[in-house]
Structure 1
Amino acid sequence: MKIADLITWFEAWANPAWCESWDNCGWQIEPGVLQEKARVLVCLTPTLAVMQEAIALHANLIFAHHPLIFNPLKSLRTGEAIAEMLRLSFSHNIGIYTAHTNFDQVQDGTADVLAQILELKEVTPIVPTQGGLGYGRVGLLEPFLTLQELLAAIQTRLAPPNLIFSPSADLQQTISRVAVLGGSGASYISSVAKTGAQAYLTSDCKFHQFQESRDCNLILIDAGHYATERPACDRLAQKFHSLNLDWVQLSQKDEDFRQFFA
């Protein structure tokens, strides 16, 4: 399959026109690879480490969730990361394509994969957008779990380096309804509270957002940005495999950008 055909297939599923006005979905760098057979490296964040990996593996497309170019560029200078990515992209003929908030909304996107990992049933979006799609997912646990069992399941299935959750007097309380949203989802706390969820799994939550969640009688669980979004990248790579591409692989050089001192 040519890269142009792959992008056409993807955009029919996760239309870049659905992305938010502040977002930057679609081609980040297209150095003239559209008619080449697709050799795809899927990643969460396009970094120099991922670019070097793509070069070593002879990939011609980096397919990322996070945009390479997010804010308007005012200049490009030697030694800057984006400038170096641009130079390497053109010198090695490697395109960079991003699916961000459009990928968040779809079936098998970032939130949907989290819901599947927790085996949620009767799943619906936290905030619907169009055609049954939307941001986040909320559903039922079957069987119900205690809060302690839910936290243990998240730790086992997502392997976050640090799991933060709202203080609770009773880890043995029964949890039946859970909401999930991969990446930075604290701005959705009030929307989650309206769904009747007892617990909310997301990331990048600040001190006072835990307070807000407590005041909404919602247990907030922060598993980190990388741990909550990387599984959807794995699922995307699997989807690409099913298309019988010339070559596709999930990046092994994706970075969490954080370390925790034990």
Structure 2
Amino acid sequence: MKKVNGYEIITLFEQWSPKRFAEDWDPVGLHIGQLNRLVEKVTITLDVNEAVVDEAIEKGANLIIAHHPPIFSPLKHIWTDTPQGRLIEKCIKHDISVYAAHTNLDVAPGGVNDLLASCLGLENIGVMQPTISDPLYKLAVFCPVEHADSLREVLARSGAGAIGDYSGCSFTSTGTGRFTPTAGADPFIGEVGKMEEVTEERIEVVLPGPIRSKVLQAMLAAHPYEEPAYDFFVLDQRTEEFGLGRVGTLPEPMELQEFAQLVKKALDVPALRIVGDSGKLVRKIAVLGGSGSKYIRAAKRKGADVFVTGDMDFHSAQDAELMDLAIVDPGHHVEKVMIEGVARYMEQACREKGYDVKIVKSEIDTEPFKFI
């Protein structure tokens, strides 16, 4: 097993939930501490309060991965006699780093919203509110004919040429390449100062933007030429859409009242609020963890019968009622599903990498509301 530092842990996490998925206003990333220390234990939590930090100290955790950022607005000063200042001081004194994955974890496939949709037993799940899609690129690289097969294999292994359910897709055309090595060159083919003509293949592959650097490095390392000729083109096509919320269907229609009871049990809440006729039959469900008031129209555009989300305000509830969109509000804290989901992902990912680190699920209940 390999000892690892915080950078290696977070690099692994961000392969699943990259920061580029986050909304522009969202302060995701490292909030407290540093990532260049060895990490033996990682605590997974929804929120970071003093009780969670005390739990991390007791269990010997060096890193906390949280959903809600502990520092949401920029700080002008840190006074350690305030609750927030005391929390920051305690983390620093005990060498505990804190990393937040907020809307990026909401958007990530398998993240908060997919976990909620799964808890509700939804089928045919899709994105409710698209927020990001990456451009596709085409790489065209010229290579001597006798080296083309090996280069195509390298490109395929790096992820280029994957289209739908097919891998290793490429197109090849043959032509003549011309070049003259100048003084200082170390040509693979030809001589310095002499024009050279070589039968070459033009290999074309498509690839998503996030792996462009990886594919380029693999191509350069495998290409026989000292200075390969290649081009990248941005295509009109996009990769799959990523976004906030999910929309899916129940296996069978049910009345809103019955569905609300399903939500209450599945998401483990003591109470919830509903908007709409309790006898209305519902089947198509939109779900968004956290605060979803401003997304009622997105849910309606997707044809949802009911929108499951938290922090519904009075006027948004009235608007939803007018547009015949039922609401089930189980609160904000249902995002606690991320504790189990993130822990499961990180345990498997670290095990596959051979990382010597233990993942700990926080047992602190950070729900601020009490129901009477």
Contact 1:108/1:232 (<8 A) preserved: no
Match of 1:29 in 2: 32
> Deviation digits for residues 40-61 of structure 1, max 9, x if unmatched?
1100111111000000000001
- Give the match for residue 198 of structure 1: 305
Contact 2:276 2:327 in 1 (8 A): no
Give unmatched runs, 5+ long, in structure 1.
none
Pairwise CA distance, 1:202? 0.3
| Aligned partner of residue 360 in structure 2, secondary structure | strand
What CA distance in whole angstroms lies between the structure 2 residues aligned with 1:199 and 1:259? 26
2:293, 2:49 → 1: CA distance? 25
Contact 1:203 1:225 (C-alpha < 8 Å) held by counterparts:
yes
Which of 230, 236, 249 pairs up with 2:336? 230
- Residue 7 of structure 1 is matched in structure 2 by 10
Amino acid at match of 1:69: I
Q: Does 1:217 align with 2:220?
A: no
Identity of aligned residues (%): 33
- State the aligned residue count: 257
Q: Which whole-Å deviations, capped at 9, do the CAs of 1:142-164 have from their partners, x for residues lacking one?
A: 12222222111111111213200
Once the two structures are superposed, residues 176-213 of structure 1 have per-residue CA deviations (whole angstroms, 9 ceiling, x without a partner) of 10000000011100111111100000000111111011
User: Hey, what's the Cα distance between the residues in 1 that align with 2:107 and 2:338?
Assistant: 12
Distance 2:102 2:251 in 1: 30
Root mean square deviation of aligned Cα: 1.4
TM-score (norm 1): 0.93
The verdict on how the C-alpha distance between 1:260 and 1:40 changes in structure 2, with shifts beyond 3 A counting, is: same
* Residue type of the alignment partner of 2:32: I
Equivalent position of 2:289 in the other structure:
182
Tell me how far apart the structure 1 counterparts of residues 51 and 42 of structure 2 sit (CA, whole Å). Answer: 15
- What pairs with 1:1-262 in structure 2 (closer than 5 Å)? 2=4, 3-31=6-34, 33-129=35-131, 130=133, 131-168=240-277, 171-227=278-334, 229-242=335-348, 243-244=350-351, 246-261=357-372
TM-score, normalised relative to structure 2: 0.67
Report which of the two structures shows the higher radius of gyration computed on alpha carbons.
2
More strand by share: 2
Indicate the residue corresponding to 2:137 in structure 1. Answer: none
Alignment partners' CA distance in 1, 2:36 and 2:67? 19
Q: Is the 8 A contact 2:22 2:107 kept in 1?
A: no
Kindly provide the CA deviation profile for residues 119-161 of structure 1, in whole angstroms up to 9, marking residues without a partner as x: 1111111111223321000011112222222111111111213
* 1:57-80 Cα distance to aligned partner (Å, 9 max, x none): 000011100001110111111221
- Which one-letter code corresponds to 2:300 in the other structure? A
Amino acid at match of 1:26: G
- Give the residue type in structure 1 aligned to 2:329: D
Partner secondary structure for residue 30 of structure 2: strand
Q: Secondary structure at the match of 2:336?
A: helix
**Letter matched to residue 10 of structure 1:** F
Q: Distance in 2 between matches of 1:137 and 1:172?
A: 24
